[in-house]
Amino acid sequence: MPNYNPHIDKVLQMLRDMYPGVKPSLNFSNPYEILVATILSAQSTDKQVNKVTPAVFRDFPTVYDMANTTPEILYPYVKSCGFKSKANNLVMAARKIVEQFGGEVPRTHEELMTLSGVGLKTADVVLSHAFGVPAIAVDTHVFRVSNRLKIADANTVEKTREQLMENIPMEEWSSMHLKIIHHGRELCKARNPLCSSCALQDICPHYFKNKGEN
Ligand code: SF4
């Protein structure tokens, strides 16, 4: 049972009202594809990832195809999403899934985090999107928005994640994570949050602290 806090309760209710039915922005149709897309999304944008994944999924449609290729062959496909290490991580992760997990994307944090390129955030996204496991992946948007709105009050990703898990009902972890990301992309932007267009303005501690600047 989450800790009851009237401010947090109000913010969560408003986010529910503002963003009903928000869906993941990465395109995928199975656990292998969301794993690939999420590894590619590190330090890139979901929009950019969605541009490259159709060709990746066409030419490497299964984890076995990915395991059988090489980072050198894969790299031109994913180059626009950043570092060469991502091609390496994708191939190494696929090989481990084939060799140690029977070709199935694992379903626990512990196992997922043994794969190349998979940290806590990626594991949370895969578990949540692929398997419906309640999880709150704290990316840059979730970290910023949660702390601005004071539904978390922490200076690290780990503490923010812990507090959000305490403050949000478990059955809403995954959906609220999507709503918070959406709010961060649409309105609560990193540099110039669009506070004058934001329905949360009246209860936003960050707005009151910086009144007049946004
Ligand atoms: S009022 Fe501004 S800072 Fe607060 S949540 Fe809305 S956009 Fe973000």
Q: Which string of b and e fits 69-97 if b means at least 16 CB within 10 Å?
A: bebeebbebbeebbeeebbbbbbbbbbbb
Measured CA to CA, the distance from residue 83 to residue 38 in angstroms comes to 14
Topology classification of domain 6-22+137-209: Endonuclease Iii, domain 2 (1.10.1670)
Mutate to test the pocket of ligand 1, among 200, 202, 211 (most ligand atoms within 8 A of CB): 200
Instruction: Specify the DSSP element, H or E, that contains 175.
Output: helix 173-186
Q: Is the CB of 55 under 6 A from ligand 1?
A: no
ipTM of the complex: 0.99
Assess contact for 211 and 199: CB atoms under 8 A. no
For 120-155, how does the pLDDT look when each residue is reduced to its tens digit (9 = 90+)? Answer: 999 999 999 999 999 999 999 999 999 999 999 999
Measured CA to CA, the distance from residue 202 to residue 74 in angstroms comes to 49
**3-state secondary structure string, 176-213?**
HHHHHHHHHHHCCCCCCCCHHHCCCHHHCHHHHHCCCC
121 is catalytic: yes
Task: Output the CA 167–ligand 1 centroid distance in Å.
Answer: 19
> Which segments of the chain belong to CATH 1.10.1670.10?
6-22+137-209
Residue at token pair 């299964």: 62
Task: Output the CA 194–ligand 1 centroid distance in Å.
Answer: 7
Catalytic pick from 96, 121, 124, 179? Answer: 121
Average pLDDT over every residue of 180-191: 96
Q: What is the dihedral of CA 112, 114, 116, 118, to 10 degrees?
A: 40
139 is catalytic: yes
Q: Which CATH architecture has domain 31-131?
A: Orthogonal Bundle (1.10)
The percent of residues in the chain predicted with pLDDT above 70, rounded, is 97
pLDDT at residue 213 is higher than 80:
no
